[in-house]
Structure 1
Amino acid sequence: MSSLDRKYKTGGGEVALLLTLLFALVGIPAILYVVNTAGHALTPRTNPLPTGYWERSLGVVTGDLPWRTTEIVLAAALGLVAAALVVLWGLTRHQKAQKVVKHDRAAPRMASVRDVAPFTQKQAMAKAVRFGVDTPGVMLGTMVRGGHTLYASWEDTLLHIWGTRTGKTTSQAAPSIIEAPGPVIATSNKRDLSDLTRDLRAEGGDVWVFDPQGVAGEAPTWWWNPLTYVTDSERAAEIANNFAAGSRDVGAKGDGHFDSAGKDLLAGLLLAAAVGGEPIERVHYWLTRSTDETPALLLDEHGLTKEADSVASTIQQPEKYRGSVYSTALQMAACLKNEKIAAWVNPTGPNDDRPQFDPQAFVRGKHTLYALSKEGAGTAGPLVTALTVATVTAAEEHAVTQTGGRLANPMLCVLDEAANVCRWMNLPNLYSHYGSRGIVVSTFLQSWSQGVDVWGESGMRKLFSTANVVTYGGNVKEEGYLKMLSELIGKYTYTSVSSSRQKDSGSTSRQDATDDIMSVADLSALPKGRAVMFGSGARAVLLRTIPIDHRPYAEASKASEEAHNRPTVDTVDHEPTAPAAEPVAPEPGLSL
């Protein structure tokens, strides 16, 4: 028996027996009294009716008032009416039972509205007003206990762990994008997120869709130069680290020494291309020519002598060792050889009139950026991560110039499928910082282990602990993670009653016992439409989620989805691309 069944069992058998006895002692005599009285009124008897209640009601039993046809017809009519009422009651009860979610029984044992006061609309709105924003925050859902709507404020960061087919896109990710008051960046490996939201977002600003693998069938009508982010060796190392994480299968392990050397080499080549004004695909070109000293020369020309020495040292190593390092770095930069990707991150020539994406300009308006990628071989995930990091960093730099060091119009960063398409390695270390800058990061994972594969156990625990709001939406079957949630939700105390009988005596004992409010089994079976929320400084609360088709803009969102949900096309057919192995150097006056 699950904890939900046991702790809310109410002794229904005893209640039914008590009601049956009450009906037999009071209800039946009352019905007989009414039948005899009504029958006499319709067809008067020869003798007057007894005036006493019991004599009139039980006369048919004692034989003093035998029933005639009139009383029999009345009794049958009352029986039919009673039967119809019972059937109607049963149908109504059955319909209600189908709508009742068993897990809702746990809600009274969980947080009250007082426990989650900082997340109520009133307090979230008061905080938003202080920041100069006219919306309370990211809507999470309504409390099963009490019906109050809860929000994550514009200084909170969020972590969502929802299994597949639980409604995370339609009840969390998409609505938060539509309702965001400022710029939005959203990552995903599917087109549904952009299809549901892009037309509504276009009403307030520009919409950019980074789709180098044709997830949404977008043509490269604009481009972005990843090297504009690489302004120093620290940023080069960060990009190289994210490239390394995004280029491997989740959980794959490599050689520690060559991994480190490969990332150092890749960082040096990225920095050399940036300072030398080269396109990013030049990095892949250099990695296929392990004796080319051009990167070291470029770094040295721009005063980056230590970085130049590091690259030169690798080039001068014995061939076998050098080959291993270059091969490792080449694997990390594998996305740069994908022809579909080239047109998105390089100008197509000196006369390319496509707009270039500028993160600094983007974060100053109510614009929207969708960064899409598939998993597997040839993934553009490393570039999605680089684009996300560059945009969020631009928002952080802009926030420093604002009053209070935070964005006047908060930015929402929805990292859907973060473990698959946006493996931002430094994310756990930055989570608590972004909220104070008005950058609301909302990360979505399908399971706890997904996060562990990307950030390790300690990194995942850090992400979980520093997020101001954590939600669990069901369909996760990891016992360790669910047990942790069960313990965080807490226990309740109930009275256990046991009886024993012997031949000549009997005894009854009562004792207090504790049980999980929601067990591991309860959490594993959490139904769609329910979520458990853990907020900073608050007890866990059970939420009823609000899907997009129950929100004011449901029709507009549906129209957006229908307008863009068309068959995907191969973007390589739309724009010519430069060969990956022999990139064309840009003209001196061409902006990168």
Structure 2
Amino acid sequence: MSSLDRKYTAGGGEVALLLTLLFALVGIPAILYVLASAGHALTPRTAPLPTGYWERSLGVVTGDLPWRTTEIVLAATLGLVAAALFVLWGITRHQKAQRNVKHDRAAPRMATVRDVAPFTQKQAKAKAARFGVDTPGVMLGKMVRGGHTLYASWEDTLLHIWGTRTGKTTSQAAPSIIEAPGPVIATSNKRDLSDLTRDIRAADGDVWVFDPQGVAGEKPTWWWNPLTYVTDSERAAEMANNFAAGSRDVGAKGDGHFDSAGKDLLAGLLLAAAVGGEPIERVHYWLTRSTDETPALLLDEHGWTKEADSVASTIHQPEKYRGSVYSTALQMAACLKNEKIAAWVNPLRPDDDRPQFDPQSFVHGKHTLYALSKEGAGTAGPLVTALTVATVTAAEEHAVTQRGGRLATPMLCVLDEAANVCRWMNLPNLYSHYGSRGIVVSTFLQSWSQGVDVWGESGMRKLFSTANVVTYGGNVKEEGYLKMLSELIGKYTYTSVSSSKQKDSGSTSRQDATDDIMSVADLSALPKGRAVMFGSGARAVLLRTIPIDHRPYAEASRASEEAHNRPTVDTVDHEPTAPAAEPVAPEPAGNRWAALVKE
């Protein structure tokens, strides 16, 4: 018997028997008393009614107060009303049973509304008001116990570990994007997130879709220069580190020495291209020519002498060693050789008039950036990570200039499929810091091991511990992780009753015991529509998630999804009226995706 069964089966028969006896001894005599009194009031008897309670209530049984037509009609009417109420109760119970699941039995043993008070709508709204924001925060769901809606505030960071087909996109990621009061950046490896939300977001700001691998079928009608982020050697090293992490298969092992040397070389070349005003594709060009001293000369010319010496030292190494370092760095920068990707991060020609994405301008408005990529060969993941880091860094720099050092209007960063398309290596170290800047980072993983593959065991534990809100949405089968969650949820105490009978005697013993509120098996089988939330300073709580179809903007979201899932009309069939096929740069204040995509 599982812990969920044991908690609510013990003592059920005894309670039912007790209620039946109580109704027989108290309820039936009371009903008979009322019927006798009401019948006499409607049609007075010739003899007065007995004044005693039992004489009047049991008179029909003893024959001292036989029922007349009046009492029979009243009894029949009362029976019909009771039957109708019973049917209504049965229908309501059936509907409730359809909404409820077995796991809901654990809710009474988990947090009360008082335990999670900081996450209730009232307190989240009060906190948002202090920041000048109308929206309470990121809605997480409704408590199964009590029905109160819970929110993550605009100074919280979130971590969601939900397996596949658990509704994380429709109940968490997409609604949070739609409801965000300020700028949003969202990463994903599928188009559903952008399809569900982009038209709604476009009503209040510009929408940019970075889609170098054609996940959503977007064309490169704008571009972004990754090297605008590389302003010093530290940022160059960070970008190289993220390139290294994003270019390899999960769990792949490399050579520690050559990995380090390759990242150093790549960082040097990125900095050289940045200070020299070169496009990022030049980095790949240099990596295929291991004796080209141009990057070292550019670094030295612009005052980066130590970095120049480092690059020059690698170039002057023996051919075998130099070749190993260059090939390692080349593998890290493999995404730069993809021609489809190149159009998104390089100017097409010297007079390229496509709009250029500027992270500093982006964070000042209610704009939206979707960064899409697929994992595997040819992935644009390193560039998705670089774009995410550049945008969030711009938000952080802008926050420093604001009152209190935080953004006046919070920014939401939804890292969906973070372990696949946005391997941000420094993320665990920054999580606790971003909340205080008004940058709400919401990271989605499919399992604990996914995070370990990217950040290592210690990094994943740091991410888990520093997140203000952690949710688990089910369909994870990792015993170690589920056991940790089970222990965090806690235990409950129950009384175990055992009886033994012998020929002439019997005995009953009672013993207190403890069990997990939700066992590993219970958590593994958590159904869709339920999530367990762990909030800072609060006990675990069971939530009923609210999908996008049950939110006020359901129709608008559905229309957005349908609009972007329609087949694209082939441009060959178009009238040849358009040199309009060439993208035209709009005014700086406006760059809506609808205005940019010209068929």
TM-score band w.r.t. shorter chain: 0.7 to 0.9
Which whole-Å deviations, capped at 9, do the CAs of 1:22-61 have from their partners, x for residues lacking one?
A: 7788899999999999999999999999999999999999
What is the distance in 2 between the residues matched to 1:183 and 1:21? 64
Matched residue SS, 1:23:
helix
Native 8 Å contact 1:348 1:577 kept in 2:
no
Distance 1:570 1:300, change over 3 A: farther
Native 8 Å contact 2:354 2:583 kept in 1:
no
Shift of 1:578: 23
Matched residue SS, 1:568:
coil
Q: Which residue of 2 aligns with 1:469?
A: 469
Native 8 Å contact 1:161 1:471 kept in 2:
yes
Matched residue SS, 2:512:
strand
Query: What residue ranges of structure 2 are gaps of 5+ in the alignment?
Result: 589-596
Which whole-Å deviations, capped at 9, do the CAs of 1:428-481 have from their partners, x for residues lacking one?
A: 000001111111101000110000000000000000000011111111111111
Native 8 Å contact 1:486 1:519 kept in 2:
yes
Question: What is the root-mean-square deviation of aligned Cα atoms in Å?
Answer: 5.3
Native 8 Å contact 2:418 2:445 kept in 1:
yes
> Comparing 66-75 with 542-551, which one deviates more in the overlay?
66-75
> Comparing 295-304 with 21-30, which one deviates more in the overlay?
21-30
Which whole-Å deviations, capped at 9, do the CAs of 1:520-539 have from their partners, x for residues lacking one?
A: 11111111111111111111
Q: Which residue of 2 aligns with 1:591?
A: 598
Matched residue SS, 1:371:
strand
Matched residue SS, 1:440:
strand
Shift of 1:132: 2.0
Distance 1:355 1:29, change over 3 A: closer
Matched residue SS, 1:569:
coil
Shift of 1:13: 2.7
What is the distance in 1 between the residues matched to 2:570 and 2:250? 26
Q: TM-score, normalised by structure 1?
A: 0.87
Distance 1:571 1:425, change over 3 A: farther
Alignment of 1:428-577 (within 5 A): 428-567=428-567
Shift of 1:128: 1.6
> Comparing 194-203 with 19-28, which one deviates more in the overlay?
19-28
Native 8 Å contact 1:414 1:443 kept in 2:
yes
Which whole-Å deviations, capped at 9, do the CAs of 1:42-86 have from their partners, x for residues lacking one?
A: 999999999999999999999999999999999999999999987
Query: What residue ranges of structure 1 are gaps of 5+ in the alignment?
Result: none
Shift of 1:199: 1.1
Q: TM-score, normalised by structure 2?
A: 0.86
Which whole-Å deviations, capped at 9, do the CAs of 1:203-230 have from their partners, x for residues lacking one?
A: 1111111000111111111000000111
Native 8 Å contact 2:245 2:423 kept in 1:
yes
Which whole-Å deviations, capped at 9, do the CAs of 1:466-505 have from their partners, x for residues lacking one?
A: 0011111111111111111111111111222222333333
Shift of 1:517: 1.1
Distance 1:89 1:124, change over 3 A: closer
What is the distance in 1 between the residues matched to 2:405 and 2:97? 52
Shift of 1:567: 4.5
Native 8 Å contact 1:343 1:575 kept in 2:
no
Which whole-Å deviations, capped at 9, do the CAs of 1:554-582 have from their partners, x for residues lacking one?
A: 11111111111234799999999999999
Matched residue SS, 2:482:
helix
Shift of 1:350: 1.6
> Comparing 461-470 with 403-412, which one deviates more in the overlay?
403-412
Native 8 Å contact 2:583 2:598 kept in 1:
no
Distance 1:277 1:38, change over 3 A: closer
Matched residue SS, 1:313:
helix
Native 8 Å contact 2:381 2:421 kept in 1:
yes
Shift of 1:508: 2.3
Native 8 Å contact 2:223 2:343 kept in 1:
yes
Shift of 1:137: 1.2
Matched residue SS, 1:470:
strand
Does residue 206 of the first structure (1) align with residue 206 of the second (2)? yes
> Comparing 217-226 with 523-532, which one deviates more in the overlay?
523-532
Which whole-Å deviations, capped at 9, do the CAs of 1:244-279 have from their partners, x for residues lacking one?
A: 000011111111111111111111111111111111
Q: Which residue of 1 aligns with 2:69?
A: 69
Distance 1:183 1:96, change over 3 A: closer
Distance 1:65 1:216, change over 3 A: same
> Comparing 446-455 with 33-42, which one deviates more in the overlay?
33-42
Q: Which residue of 1 aligns with 2:248?
A: 248
Which whole-Å deviations, capped at 9, do the CAs of 1:386-418 have from their partners, x for residues lacking one?
A: 000000111111111111111111111000000
Native 8 Å contact 2:210 2:370 kept in 1:
yes
Shift of 1:330: 0.7
Native 8 Å contact 1:349 1:586 kept in 2:
no
What is the distance in 1 between the residues matched to 2:497 and 2:206? 66
What is the distance in 1 between the residues matched to 2:308 and 2:118? 52
What is the distance in 2 between the residues matched to 1:528 and 1:396? 36
Distance 1:120 1:583, change over 3 A: closer
Distance 1:466 1:70, change over 3 A: closer
Distance 1:199 1:85, change over 3 A: closer
Matched residue SS, 2:351:
coil
Distance 1:18 1:350, change over 3 A: same
Shift of 1:584: 22
> Comparing 369-378 with 579-588, which one deviates more in the overlay?
579-588
What is the distance in 2 between the residues matched to 1:258 and 1:32? 93
> Comparing 521-530 with 463-472, which one deviates more in the overlay?
521-530
Native 8 Å contact 1:184 1:367 kept in 2:
yes
Native 8 Å contact 1:159 1:471 kept in 2:
yes
> Comparing 223-232 with 31-40, which one deviates more in the overlay?
31-40
Native 8 Å contact 2:221 2:583 kept in 1:
no
Distance 1:544 1:281, change over 3 A: same
Distance 1:575 1:442, change over 3 A: farther
Matched residue SS, 1:91:
helix
What is the distance in 2 between the residues matched to 1:583 and 1:272? 30
Native 8 Å contact 1:385 1:423 kept in 2:
yes
Distance 1:585 1:100, change over 3 A: closer
Shift of 1:306: 1.1
What is the distance in 2 between the residues matched to 1:580 and 1:29? 88
Native 8 Å contact 2:354 2:584 kept in 1:
no
> Comparing 509-518 with 468-477, which one deviates more in the overlay?
509-518
What is the distance in 2 between the residues matched to 1:583 and 1:298? 33
Native 8 Å contact 2:262 2:328 kept in 1:
yes
Native 8 Å contact 1:157 1:435 kept in 2:
yes
